[in-house]
């Protein structure tokens, strides 16, 4: 039995609790938060040990894995502390807010010979699994371009719920908070970006970070990418989608959270086979919860002594794309058009 502990008893921690409780071979035995009331709620509801001091919890030899579920800007010191205590680490997205902090986490886990997984659960959705398989099997041929789109609403009340939301020090904007799962898919499916240009703006929300972003990418393989991310969509979420186009295939995965096949056409695949695949995926578009898939994989990675399927380097790649977009936007190297 692999014993887990959660650091940070906020909203996202509930998903980790359910994922751990639903994973064979895993057990939640402890939680830690600086808020004693939150700790007491978890202790009472789940029958776990509660801590308000992280160093005390990390001394517990029965804990094998710590799940970091705090605001993003706190990930690095907590993940490093967990690794230095000899615990495997699961860290919520984004892995960190800077590449330096991401590298600190990765280095600490390597130094202490512990596993590191980053929470990018969208990779496990049935439609995305099928898309990745088609790409790996070269069914697209030469790639033309890809689109990654997040058209969501996060109103001012959402940001006013907690002082850290929308801040550059602890949260980030639409790219680091909402769009990072989609951009993780983009880098996972299309590979490393070689060139990019981007515009980030804070148009409608009273926050430090951007609430809308648009970017263009040239990947190392020569294909192009178009990125659109916004939390300014009125009045509610419209879509999260990823589309990939090649000489032999066109696919768009859409829905409000990139989980349904909207379009799927591939050379050499009959209409009947295509419709069967679409019907199968769209009948259960979410599949097994992604957080549970990640916890199951961490358990198996420990037992098999292998790297988790969503590694620290994977988390770093998505972060790097976003930070490169932010840098490109700050540089403002653009052509001003005149009439």
Give the pLDDT of residue 337.
Answer: 66
Return the ∠ at Cα 81 (arms to 80 and 85), rounded to 5°. 115
The overall average pLDDT reported for the chain is: 97
Whether the per-residue pLDDT at 333 is higher than 90: the answer is no
Tell me the CATH class for 122-287+323-327. Answer: alpha beta
Whether the per-residue pLDDT at 178 is higher than 70: the answer is yes
Whether the per-residue pLDDT at 332 is higher than 80: the answer is no
pLDDT, one tens digit per residue, over 238-271 is 999 999 999 999 999 999 999 999 999 999 999 9
Helices 99-111 and 312-331, axial angle in degrees (round to 10): 160
Using alpha carbons, select from 101, 94, 41, 105 the residue that is nearest to residue 70.
94
- The residues of the chain that CATH labels 3.30.360.10 are 122-287+323-327
Using alpha carbons, select from 222, 232, 47 the residue that is nearest to residue 156.
232
Alpha carbons 68 and 7: distance in angstroms, whole number: 5
Give the pLDDT of residue 244.
Answer: 98
Give the pLDDT of residue 331.
Answer: 87
Mean pLDDT of 220-238: 98
Residues in CB range of 270: below 8 A, 6 or more apart: none
Alpha-carbon dihedral angle through residues 320, 325, 329, 334, given to the nearest 10 degrees: 120
- The residues of the chain that CATH labels 3.40.50.720 are 2-114
Give the pLDDT of residue 339.
Answer: 72
Tell me the CATH class for 2-114. Answer: alpha beta
Mean pLDDT of 295-318: 98
pLDDT, one tens digit per residue, over 46-88 is 999 999 999 999 999 999 999 999 999 999 999 999 999 999 9
Give the pLDDT of residue 24.
Answer: 97
Q: Percent of the chain at pLDDT above 70?
A: 99
Cα distances (Å, whole numbers) of residue 155 to 45, 121, 158, 162, 166: 31, 24, 5, 13, 11
């Amino acid at each position: 039995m692999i014993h887990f502990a959660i650091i940070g008893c906020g909203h996202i921690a509930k998903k980790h609790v359910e994922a751990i409780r639903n994973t064979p071979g895993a057990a939640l035995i402890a939680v830690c938060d600086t808020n004693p009331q939150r700790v007491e709620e978890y202790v009472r509801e789940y029958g776990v040990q509660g801590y308000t001091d992280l160093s005390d919890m990390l001394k517990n030899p029965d804990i094998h894995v710590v799940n970091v579920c705090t605001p993003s800007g706190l990930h690095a010191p907590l993940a490093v502390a967990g690794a230095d205590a000899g615990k495997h680490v699961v860290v919520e997205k984004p892995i960190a807010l800077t590449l330096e902090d991401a590298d600190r986490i990765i280095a600490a886990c390597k130094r202490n010979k512990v596993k590191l997984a980053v929470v990018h659960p969208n990779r496990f959705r049935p439609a995305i699994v099928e898309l990745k398989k088609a790409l790996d099997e070269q069914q697209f041929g030469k790639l033309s371009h890809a689109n990654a789109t997040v058209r969501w609403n996060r109103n001012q009340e959402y940001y006013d719920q907690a002082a850290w939301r929308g801040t550059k020090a602890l949260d980030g904007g639409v790219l680091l908070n909402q769009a990072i799962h989609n951009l993780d898919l983009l880098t996972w499916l299309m590979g490393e970006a070689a060139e990019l240009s981007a515009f980030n703006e804070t148009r409608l929300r009273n926050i430090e970070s951007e609430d809308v972003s648009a970017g263009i990418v040239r990947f190392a393989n020569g294909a192009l990418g178009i990125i659109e991310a916004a939390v300014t969509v009125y009045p509610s979420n419209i879509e999260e989608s990823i589309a990939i186009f090649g000489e032999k295939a066109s696919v768009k995965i859409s829905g409000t959270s990139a989980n349904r096949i909207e379009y799927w056409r591939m050379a050499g695949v009959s209409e009947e086979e295509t419709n069967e695949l679409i019907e199968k995926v769209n009948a259960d578009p979410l599949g097994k919860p992604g957080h549970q898939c990640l916890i199951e994989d961490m358990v198996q990675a420990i037992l098999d002594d292998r790297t988790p399927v969503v590694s620290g380097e994977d988390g770093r790649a998505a972060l790097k794309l976003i930070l490169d977009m932010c840098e490109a936007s700050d540089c403002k190297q653009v052509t001003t058009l005149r009439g």
